[in-house]
Structure 1
Amino acid sequence: MAEESMHQPRHLAATRWVEMAAGLALFVLLVEGLLLGLAAPAGLRLSAGLVFLTMLGLIAWRWPTAWRWLGWANRITLLRGMLVAFLAGALLFPAFMAAQAPVMAALALAALLLDGVDGFVARTTRSMSRFGARFDMELDAFFILVLSAALIALDKAGAWVLVIGVMRYCFVLAGRAWPWLRRPLPDSRRRKLACVWQVATLLVGLLPVVPAWVATGLAALALGLLAYSFGADVAWLRRQWRASHAPAAGDPASRAP
């Protein structure tokens, strides 16, 4: 990737930075509007900004070499990333989050709805790509981590709820020790439903009208479903690995002494 970027045509590299600059400008307008309307702490500008700048850096790093523009589907995903970055930055200010819990829930709901819009746009415009799918998946994982941390910040659940947010990252790290976990998984409706259920239940837990015991119960149920979903994927990957390493029929290694 790095070597390809060195030989990238200048006009392609220039459009990349135009996209990044436009995204940053829109994020600044969004944050400034929220800061003004919600009387948010000034430090939120810095915390949310650092999260979004990190996001932009990762996008620039993984940007496909041959791409000139990001595309509308990925721009919508980036807009969703702006909302997630604001929520992530607000985690450092739990008193503000508690005072503005309805707004936080509304921003999370908007991010959830946009998750369906970017996929629809990608299919409609026939602009689906590995980069877009990875961008969407990584943002989903980070969004779930942020929502898990938000429940803790609002005293709606204990620290155990972070397991929901870090489980996917633990799965990725486990793949470094066991390469068979890095094999591609087939599309799964179960996996998609588990992801939507996690986000929806964590989002409901943020609502001021939802008591802590209800939010805790919903989060516990989401954790159970998530553990089942990951367990099913691990079992499938394990079976595929064992099948690929099983001795072929007629192979001397397959004959028992």
Structure 2
Amino acid sequence: MRANSDFKKLGQGRIIAAQFLKLPSGLQVLLCIRILREKAANYDFHSNFMKHELKAITILGCSLLLTGFCLLGLVENWFVAGQWLLQAALLWGLVVQYIWRRLALNRANAETPLYSNLGWGNRLTILRGLLIALTGGFLFQQQTNDVNVLLPAILYTLAAILDRLDGYVARRSQQVSLLGNELDITFDALGLVVAPLLAIGLGKLHWSYLMLSVAYYIYQWGLLRRQRRGLPVYALPPNPLRRTLAGFQMAFIAAVLWPLLSSSLTVIAGIAFMLPVLFGFVVDWLIVSGSFPAQILTTLDLLSWKFFQPVLRVLLVLVSFLAIRNSGQLWQADMSEWVFIFSAGLILFGFAGRLGAFALIMLLGWQYPDTGGHFFDYVLIFTASWILLLGTGRYSLWQWGDEWVARYDGA
């Protein structure tokens, strides 16, 4: 039935084209001009509507900023509130300006017309940008009280949740857009500058994590520089691992901001989480610059799945027992030991191994001594973190975690 309908539409299109060609050339030109004018008018209408919509969102964001300023002034002091307002307003202004300049991208692809409105997916993404701006208001402030510690954690955690939710809403509402994709990447990068700076101020991350924060901007600057110099920029093939790693970074930083995990662990885990992303940026750059062929991504993924990830599983189990033997403070309760054994078993057999790695990291976060650990403890943190990021690889019984993190919700 659908094929017959398509053939009918094709036949109707040919009839219309034939009738159009029979018209005098002057009428053809006038008809084309009229069609172009109608398209331009439709474009202007949709563009103006989206601009009005963005203005309304901007005003709502400013109202929220003023409300936060008043509340902080009453709870803390007006100097702290003023600093928060200045920083948050500056970031919110940059977010709005960035969106304003890219409203023309609110379409499914370059050939399709503009959507009539921003859509709920983009609205949630803009809300994520606002939450990151509100989080940035707490930068460079004394983080010695509960307000300056808990509020940034709450705000950035909400932003991290929306990072998963906005794409789902866009796909369910059938309004996936180029604008949403660009805003998603940009706000991910912005959040991974703002939140790590806060975490470093809290002593929860090592300053070297900022290499990841600036990696995206250095990468984009490098692409722009090559284009301006007339050098070729080769196409970068899609790789689901990029999205997975970015999502895990946001979730990790959100967890780090909460005063639940030991700073001794999060500092080491931050380095472990950072390294695969930096490696990915280096490989991507070598591809777009032509130093490596695009097929290198497939080769690296295959090598990781066949060898690196299974070796990580075995290494984690071996090292974990050595860590227990060499660090009497690491496990302080019988229940912790049982949770550890269960998590290590999940990882070893690749049965929801990512879940086991997550449980092991959380257990370490609560039990890890503030004085630091031994070499084996560091290896344990690195292996558990990389299994969480990459998966368990070959010879796994059930890779449920891999399916979930790679899934596009709502698709």
* Partner residue, 1:227: 278
TM-score by length of 2: 0.52
SS of match in other structure, 1:90: coil
Deviations 1:66-94 (A, max 9, x none): 45422211111001111001111221324
SS of match in other structure, 1:95: coil
* 2:99 maps to 1:59: yes
* Partner residue, 2:217: 169
* 2:226 maps to 1:192: no
Question: What is the distance in 2 between the residues matched to 1:202 and 1:118?
Answer: 19
* Partner residue, 1:248: none
Residue-pair matches, total: 237
1:69 aligns with one of 100, 107, 117:
117
* Partner residue, 1:21: 55
* Partner residue, 1:216: 267
- 1:28-177 equivalences in 2 (<5 Å): 28-38=62-72, 39=75, 41-64=81-104, 66-95=114-143, 99-177=147-225
Q: 1:144 to 1:182 in 2, by over 3 A?
A: farther
- In the alignment, structure 2 segments of 5+ residues that lack a partner are 1-39, 106-113, 297-411
* Letter paired with 1:216: V
* Letter paired with 1:28: C
Q: 1:96 to 1:69 in 2, by over 3 A?
A: farther
Question: What is the distance in 2 between the residues matched to 1:119 and 1:162?
Answer: 27
- In the alignment, structure 1 segments of 5+ residues that lack a partner are 1-6, 244-257
What is the CA-CA distance between 1:199 and the residue it aligns to? 1.4
Question: After TM superposition, what 4+ stretches of structure 1 lie above 6 angstroms from structure 2?
Answer: none
CA contact (8 A) 2:236 2:294 kept: no
TM-score by length of 1: 0.80
CA contact (8 A) 1:80 1:115 kept: yes
Identity %: 23
* Letter paired with 2:100: A
Larger radius of gyration: 2
SS of match in other structure, 2:143: helix
**RCO comparison, higher one (Cα < 8 Å, 6+):** 1
Q: 1:54 to 1:216 in 2, by over 3 A?
A: same
Deviations 1:205-249 (A, max 9, x none): 212232322221121012112122223323444334799xxxxxx
The CA RMSD measured in Å over matched residues stands at 2.8
* Letter paired with 1:212: S
* Letter paired with 1:231: V
* Letter paired with 2:84: L
Question: What is the distance in 2 between the residues matched to 1:182 and 1:26?
Answer: 40
CA contact (8 A) 2:132 2:159 kept: yes
Q: 1:43 to 1:165 in 2, by over 3 A?
A: same
What is the CA-CA distance between 1:168 and the residue it aligns to? 0.8
Q: 1:70 to 1:155 in 2, by over 3 A?
A: same
Question: What is the distance in 1 between the residues matched to 2:232 and 2:88?
Answer: 33
SS of match in other structure, 1:64: helix
